[in-house]
């Protein structure tokens, strides 16, 4: 994934442990692979240049000589230390010269890690390496369900000028405030707080919810973003055995769940039940949720019955979108 989607990843205490664990396992595999390749290369070099193996063995033996000298009371330790140190220096010089004669670098037998800063451990001096931050971010992006939308729809390219269509300054002011609220929600995200984005098609609901998702992921939280129809399909497939291993737990476990286009799905008693249980579970566990819909508050109430609408009223901040369809405006440009 391109570097430009990884601008300011910050490691936080809330970083998802499962994703971090997966990435660290990959790092462990990379280290094993690098060391195995180094051993393979070393064996070949020893076969091609026997003198190199002899020197390396002699260098290793210097360590044992030093240990033996520290235990031998019959020899002055300081004298032994100087002698062994001089021997080691001489051997290293011989090794360096031998490698140069064969046009080989001094570290030819060392593992080649993908990150030279942390040697593929993910940490440097007790702090998380940038490479690990990026790897965790990439996996978080992939698991969010947003794909390329994370680069195409951001706070930076949300164009408020479209809300000036018809010279309606009131709409522009409302949407400017709404944009500021959405950005503040993302920047201050702490795993709690629910938003209900209401408004017609093409008014920027998906763009802003995607922008929030990107910022929240960059703060170290997990995000799942799905259309309402897709969520209900997944629950239905699992319930009726079409996809027994379908992952429905992610909708309850994610730090932020974003449900897009609520109201466009085929509404049944089952989908209404799933929606209620999902909202109820997340609210009871103080987990954040964003819902976007083209339905009006009255239509929501009539479609999903009072108990769901009551939850929305009590637990969600309503964010009404105004203006003229931006997609149609773009077509006319």
**Going residue by residue through the chain (333 aa), what tens digit of pLDDT does each one get?**
333 333 333 444 344 677 888 999 999 999 999 999 999 999 999 999 999 999 999 988 888 888 877 777 666 777 888 888 899 999 999 999 999 999 999 888 999 999 999 999 999 998 889 888 888 877 877 777 776 666 678 899 899 988 887 667 889 999 999 999 999 999 999 888 999 999 998 899 999 999 999 888 888 788 899 999 999 999 998 888 777 666 788 899 888 999 999 999 989 999 999 999 999 999 999 999 999 999 999 999 999 988 899 999 999 999 999 988 777 787 766
- Residue 179 falls within a domain, yes or no? yes
Q: Note whether 203 and 58 are same-domain residues.
A: no
Report the alpha-carbon distance of residue 169 to residue 175 in Å, rounded.
10
* Cβ(216)–Cβ(227) below 8 Å: no
| Residue 84 pLDDT | 87
Report the alpha-carbon distance of residue 211 to residue 205 in Å, rounded.
10
Q: Note whether 244 and 303 are same-domain residues.
A: yes
Q: Note whether 254 and 181 are same-domain residues.
A: yes
- Residue 78 falls within a domain, yes or no? yes
Q: Note whether 277 and 162 are same-domain residues.
A: yes
3-state secondary structure 18-47: HHHHHHHHHHHHHHHHHHHHHHHHHHHHHH
Half-sphere exposure at residue 189, Cβ-oriented, CA atoms within 13 angstroms: 33
195 — phi, psi (to 5°)?
A: -125, 140
Report the alpha-carbon distance of residue 163 to residue 282 in Å, rounded.
33
Q: How far apart are the first and last CA of the chain?
A: 31
Q: Note whether 198 and 71 are same-domain residues.
A: no
Please say which residue of 112, 135, 169 terminates a domain. 112
Tell me the β-bridge partners of 290. 195, 258
**Which burial class, exposed, middle or buried, applies to 82 when counting CB atoms under 10 A from its CB (0-12, 13-18, 19+)?**
exposed
- Residue 123 falls within a domain, yes or no? no
Q: Note whether 178 and 241 are same-domain residues.
A: yes
Please say which residue of 112, 137, 167 terminates a domain. 112
- How wide is the angle at C-alpha 326 spanned by C-alphas 228 and 152, nearest 5°? 65
- Residue 26 falls within a domain, yes or no? no
* Cβ(140)–Cβ(15) below 8 Å: no
| Residue 14 pLDDT | 44
- Residue 195 falls within a domain, yes or no? yes
Q: Note whether 64 and 199 are same-domain residues.
A: no
- Residue 14 falls within a domain, yes or no? no
Please say which residue of 71, 90, 112 terminates a domain. 112
> Domain count of the chain?
2
* Residue 220 neighbours by CB distance under 10 Å: 22
Q: Note whether 190 and 245 are same-domain residues.
A: yes
Quick: pLDDT tens for 114-150.
999 999 999 999 888 988 888 887 787 777 777 666 6
> Domain with 309 in it: what CATH number?
3.40.50.300
Q: Locate 180 and state its tokens.
A: 């500021």
Report the alpha-carbon distance of residue 292 to residue 199 in Å, rounded.
8
Q: Note whether 318 and 207 are same-domain residues.
A: yes
Q: What is the DSSP string of 186-234?
A: HHT--S--EEEEE--TTSSHHHHHHHHHHHHHHTT--EEEEEHHHHHHH
- Closest by CA to 88, choosing from 110, 69, 72, is 69
| Residue 166 pLDDT | 67
Q: Note whether 42 and 173 are same-domain residues.
A: no
State the DSSP code for 163: G
- Closest by CA to 210, choosing from 182, 229, 248, is 182
Quick: pLDDT tens for 156-211.
989 998 888 766 788 999 999 999 999 999 999 988 899 999 999 889 999 999 99
Q: Note whether 284 and 222 are same-domain residues.
A: yes
- Residue 134 falls within a domain, yes or no? no
Q: Locate 250 and state its tokens.
A: 């992610």
- Residue 41 falls within a domain, yes or no? yes
Angle, helix 17-48 to helix 130-144, in steps of 10 degrees? 130
| Residue 257 pLDDT | 95
* Cβ(12)–Cβ(220) below 8 Å: yes
Q: Note whether 273 and 203 are same-domain residues.
A: yes
Reduced to 3 states (helix: H, G, I; strand: E, B; else coil), residue 115 is coil
**Domain span at residue 149?**
145-331
* Cβ(321)–Cβ(205) below 8 Å: yes
């Amino acid at each position: 994934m391109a570097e430009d989607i990884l601008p300011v990843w910050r490691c936080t205490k809330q970083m998802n442990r499962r994703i971090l664990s997966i990435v660290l396992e990959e790092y462990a595999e990379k280290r094993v692979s690098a060391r195995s390749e180094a051993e393979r290369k070393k064996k070949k070099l020893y076969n091609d240049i026997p003198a190199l193996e002899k020197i390396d063995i002699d260098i290793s033996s210097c360590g044992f000589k030093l240990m033996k000298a520290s235990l031998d009371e019959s020899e002055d330790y300081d004298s032994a230390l100087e002698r062994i140190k001089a021997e080691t220096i001489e051997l290293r010089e011989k090794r360096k010269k031998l490698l140069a004669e064969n046009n080989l670098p001094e570290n030819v037998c060392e593992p080649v890690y993908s990150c030279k800063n942390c040697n593929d451990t993910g940490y440097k001096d007790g702090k998380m390496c940038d490479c690990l931050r990026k790897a965790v971010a990439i996996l978080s992006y992939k698991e969010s369900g947003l794909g390329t939308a994370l680069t195409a729809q951001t706070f930076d390219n949300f164009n408020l000028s479209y809300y000036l269509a018809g010279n309606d300054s009131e709409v522009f002011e409302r949407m400017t405030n709404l944009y500021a609220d959405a950005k503040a929600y993302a920047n201050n995200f702490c795993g709690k707080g629910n938003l209900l984005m209401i408004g017609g098609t093409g008014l920027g609901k998906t763009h802003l919810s995607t922008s929030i998702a990107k910022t929240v992921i960059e703060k170290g939280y997990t995000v799942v973003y799905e259309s309402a129809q897709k969520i209900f399909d997944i629950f239905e497939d699992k319930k009726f055995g079409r996809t027994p291993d379908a992952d429905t737990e992610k909708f309850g476990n994610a730090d932020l769940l974003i449900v897009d286009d609520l109201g466009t799905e085929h509404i049944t008693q089952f989908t209404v039940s799933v929606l209620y249980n999902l909202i109820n579970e997340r609210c009871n566990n103080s987990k954040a949720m964003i819902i976007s819909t083209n339905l009006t508050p009255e239509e929501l109430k009539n479609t999903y019955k009072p108990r769901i609408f009551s939850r929305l009223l009590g637990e969600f901040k309503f964010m009404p979108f105004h203006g003229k369809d931006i997609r149609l405006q773009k077509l006319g440009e």
